[in-house]
Structure 1
Amino acid sequence: MRPIPDWGTVPRMLRATAAARPEAIVCVDGDKRLSHADLRDGASRIARALLAHGVSKGDRVAIWAPNSWQWVVTAFGVWDVGAVLVPLSTRGKGIETRDLLERTGCSVLFVADQFLGTSYLDMLADVAGPTTEVLPFAQLPSLRKVVLIGDDPAVLGATPWTDFLDDARWTPEKVADMHAETVDPDDAFEILCTSGTTGVPKGVVLTGGQILRAYWDWAEVIGLGRGDNYPIVSPFAHGFGINAGLLVCVMRSATMVPIPVFDPDAAFDLIENRKVSILAGPPSLFAQMLRRPDIGRRDLSSLRVAVAGAAAVPTELIRDMHSRMGFRQVVNAYGLIEGSVVTMTRADDPIEVIATSAGRPMPGVEVRIVDADETPLPSGNPGEIEVRGYGVMQHYWNAPDLTADAVSPEGWLRTGDIGTIDDAGNLAIVDRKKEMFISNGFNAYPAEIENLLLHNKSLAHVAVVAVPDVDRGEVAWAFAIAADNAEPDEQAIVAWAKSSMSNYKVPRRVVFVPEMPTTPNGKIDKARLRQVAHASLEQR
């Protein structure tokens, strides 16, 4: 792999790429096109306005908005100041968002008030109090400024986008550049929140230096560079969207296309019109596109690389992505917010390796499998995955006890994921440690059961959760999407599973659904599926 240029920090990277390739287009959003030079100038204007309002190095600034070019410019402006970016999920509700703003002590909030018929400011006001003479929300004393991102009309307590940008005139460019130069590679530059599907979200603190390195190497594996057109489907509020999307495109002079809401028909139009070459998302995204009846009439010749990170990707899905969508390379990978990029498959890996593993460790990253006593296990034995290297988080925000639980004194990150490593060094994700359940005395792993069920060709997609059972402790329930031209038949699937799988792995119910609920980062929302299963049990 080529070594990363000697940038060290995000502000220096932005200046270096703008100087080297000022005309290269790094963002296209509708009619808006941003070159490196445009982004550099726009970020400087945001930074100067922030400085005019008293924001300084280390302060936290939040963005609560869908993917857009304004999101991109704002993020780089925050980083230019040396402030810490706190992305907030557009699926977050008032109570969740108030809690995150309060816990991270954000002083400024950029918000798109109206999105999908929802007023974020109204939601927040309901739980954080009304606007006062000195505060945007009475119960958020650290939050001093709210800025409307985009063209939302003026709202009490919030400053319109253009008015905020006008405040840049109070800070000379020279002063803003001085602030950017003081940023250090080891300074915190973002706090990413874990999904929170099973508990209170934790704030993961990451530095600019480590994230630049991690995603430079990620881009090396997929060959991302100038000339690539890359729709960013994952929300910028998620680690993949902001780091493997927004940031990496600017690093590599590729063109990002921010996608606020994914739609398969619109995606096909975009591929044809923008000559999309890179597409990243969960396997369900590609499966959804492959189910479109007009896929054979679409011009997909520009597609080059697909990134479909997941515990396991059905082999037939990968074959279809090659043969029906034309991808020359399909990448599977493993990473987590606390550990950045951990493993990736490589271009010359066979389909079977991509389908059944997340590839091999990235340069500078160590991976091991340990038992309950944290004793390393030999190849092929399942255990908890531990990761060590430059990509491991600095700490959880204001949570030293949680940090100590997650990272050993020797620097090993306890991921909570169960996996195996084969003799070739490929990491396979068996399941989440916390999702493992015991059925009739046997350890059962939902991801393994899902993979087994997908051998039945009448199923296109499966998600397995555990539910209580009087006789066995817990049993599997499968939620499934039927394959094209297949009739949903629960009894037939259960009968097939009984003849093909160990009894403790056989799902006691197979519930067919039109689509899977997903979390903000596009993963299947198993917490919601558990709620559905438990509600069904209670009605019996």
Structure 2
Amino acid sequence: MTSPPQTTPLALHAAAHAYGDAPAVGDGAVRLSWSQLLDSVRETARALMARGIQRGDRIGIWAPNTHHWVTAVLASHYVGAAIVPLNTRYVAAEAADVLSRVHAKALFITGEFLGRDRLTELRTAAPELGIETTIVIPVEGEAPVEDAIVWSELGKVAEAVSLEQVIARAESVSPNDLSDILFTSGTTGRSKGVLIAHHQVLSSARAWADCATLNHTDRYLIVPPFFHSFGYKAGIIASLVTGAAMIPQAVFDVRETMRLIQGERITVLTGPPTIHQTILDHPERDGADLSSLRVAVTGAATVPVVLIERMRSELDFEVVLTAYGQTESGGFGTMCRPEDSSETIATTCGRTIEGFEMKLADNGELLLRSDQVMRGYLDDPQATAATIDADGWLHTGDVAVIDDRGYMKVTDRLKDMYISGGFNVYPAEVEQTMARLEGVAETAVIGVPDERMGEVGKVFVVRRSGSELTAEDVQAYAKAQLANFKVPKYVEFRDELPYNAAGKVLKRQLREEKA
């Protein structure tokens, strides 16, 4: 049996050959088949070569989910460059920091979008950044930009490089070449660049897609941002290796999401639990045709059992899965399986996907080992050595338990644990309990200082629509379900919780608000 392609350029060749005129990308009026996507990628890659991009160079991309992102990342790979995605929520100083640390030679950047002109901001914040090639992606109209190439001009730039030259470059890319440098979210300090190679990103995406039952007949609405592993690797790359059609959504808006599901006959919808919860609770849901939905994959936060049950019964998903991964593990690690019960899917992160091993350290920390684990952190051997031990185990920083079936449950981050009256309290356990309380949509628990106990719990609660839940209700339920030292002393109701783009609650922000 022939082994599958080990670089994304060869994977794209294989997809174009296998799926040809079948849809690859649908973004508003722009419709690309797999053959047309290959043509688009080659044209953009020729332009990059014409601008002097070499194998091993780094290319930044600071833009929302559109068809341009798909072409840009695959074109960067096609010329042997590593893509460096930038969080669209970054301010210019944060973006400049990342771009300078990777010595970016080129940058794909959105035009004016959601009231921000990122290029002007970046040039103002870091006039000496020295990026040689800037390509502006139009989102809300298009106009010439000084000292930059507008997306529509790429074809003209590409004329300096032949098709034969760019194909030769693509075929020279090695499975061990870097495909990307993703920066960790930075919720615990300065972000770190994670180094991943082509063969790693492809192997992980294939294993994930296999568990998710993704295939070439699927139409995949990609809501998680492309700058994050969930959108880029479990989205673009998973579609690349299966032939699923990609429908990117630039900004999550529940009405637009439901419109796209109906209009595009979406079969696959991934994202944090809040996306599915928002759809379920939306007053216009009953008027939308969501019957095409087949597969949902969620994670990144506490998942109530009732949410899984409602996704299956009310949204009629055939397959609902939760998954676990970190940027450092290539974005992947464990996953539930389609046949698992709602209880298993909600209360565990599944078992290892192909190519991964896991075990617990003496302190309960989850350790992962795989060829798909990062090569290391960019220019930070000390942090790399502290994260990956001599035996190749990645120390995740997550506290977990593993049951006798090999299913893993994260009980908390090591740093999130607090000690109340001498007892360790893991907020995720409390959150999972609170999620079962009628009227609760979302919760987050942190430890706050207390003179007598050292620390006590504080729970932030987002009520479900129409709920009149009180603080007394919350505490009475917690007392009935949890040991006394785990019961939050304080309850605060919020309209929403602060999330990072990966769908994880920014607990540091909650702590700082109370500092």
- TM-score bracket, shorter-length normalisation: over 0.9
AA partner of residue 65 (structure 1):
A
Q: Compare 332-341 and 151-160 and name the one that shifted more.
A: 151-160
The aligned residue for residue 340 of structure 2 is 349
AA partner of residue 274 (structure 1):
E
The aligned residue for residue 137 of structure 2 is 149
The aligned residue for residue 320 of structure 2 is 330
CA shift digits 1:69-126 (9 cap, x unpaired): 1111111110000001000111011111110001011010110131110111222123
What is the alpha-carbon distance in structure 1 between the residues aligned to residue 2 and residue 413 of structure 2?
32
Q: Compare 89-98 and 158-167 and name the one that shifted more.
A: 158-167
Deviation at 1:178, TM superposition (A): 1.0
Query: Contact 1:366/1:388 (CA < 8 Å) preserved in 2?
Result: yes
Note if 1:480 corresponds to 2:461: yes
2:58 to 57, 60, 68: 60
Note if 1:213 corresponds to 2:203: yes
CA shift digits 1:139-186 (9 cap, x unpaired): 213x21211112532233322222233111001111111111111111
Note if 1:46 corresponds to 2:27: no
Query: Contact 1:308/1:332 (CA < 8 Å) preserved in 2?
Result: yes
AA partner of residue 467 (structure 1):
V
Deviation at 1:5, TM superposition (A): 4.5
The aligned residue for residue 355 of structure 2 is 364
AA partner of residue 243 (structure 2):
S
What is the alpha-carbon distance in structure 2 between the residues aligned to residue 19 and residue 349 of structure 1?
35
Q: How does 1:369-518 map to 2 (within 5 A)?
A: 369-372=360-363, 383-518=364-499
The aligned residue for residue 100 of structure 2 is 102
RMSD between aligned alpha carbons?
1.5
Q: Compare 115-124 and 254-263 and name the one that shifted more.
A: 115-124
The aligned residue for residue 378 of structure 1 is none
Call closer, same or farther: CA 1:467–1:155 in 2, change over 3 Å: farther
AA partner of residue 364 (structure 1):
G
CA shift digits 1:171-218 (9 cap, x unpaired): 111111111111111111100110011200000010111111111111
Q: Unpaired runs of 5+ in structure 1?
A: 130-138, 373-382, 535-540
Secondary structure of the structure 1 residue equivalent to 2:392? coil
What is the alpha-carbon distance in structure 1 between the residues aligned to residue 459 and residue 87 of structure 2?
28
Deviation at 1:528, TM superposition (A): 2.3
AA partner of residue 176 (structure 1):
V
CA shift digits 1:396-429 (9 cap, x unpaired): 1111111111101111000101101001110111
The aligned residue for residue 221 of structure 2 is 231
1:165 to 132, 145, 155: 155
Call closer, same or farther: CA 1:311–1:112 in 2, change over 3 Å: closer
What is the alpha-carbon distance in structure 2 between the residues aligned to residue 531 and residue 49 of structure 1?
46
AA partner of residue 182 (structure 1):
S
Q: Give TM-score, length-normalised by structure 1.
A: 0.92
Query: Contact 2:301/2:504 (CA < 8 Å) preserved in 1?
Result: no
What is the alpha-carbon distance in structure 2 between the residues aligned to residue 43 and residue 113 of structure 1?
20
Deviation at 1:28, TM superposition (A): 0.1
The aligned residue for residue 380 of structure 1 is none
Query: Contact 2:304/2:432 (CA < 8 Å) preserved in 1?
Result: yes
Deviation at 1:359, TM superposition (A): 0.9
Deviation at 1:4, TM superposition (A): 8.8
Q: Give TM-score, length-normalised by structure 2.
A: 0.96
What is the alpha-carbon distance in structure 2 between the residues aligned to residue 103 and residue 20 of structure 1?
39
Note if 1:318 corresponds to 2:299: no
The aligned residue for residue 12 of structure 2 is 14
Secondary structure of the structure 1 residue equivalent to 2:509? helix
What is the alpha-carbon distance in structure 1 between the residues aligned to residue 374 and residue 63 of structure 2?
25
Deviation at 1:311, TM superposition (A): 5.3
Secondary structure of the structure 1 residue equivalent to 2:299? coil
Q: Unpaired runs of 5+ in structure 2?
A: none
AA partner of residue 436 (structure 1):
M
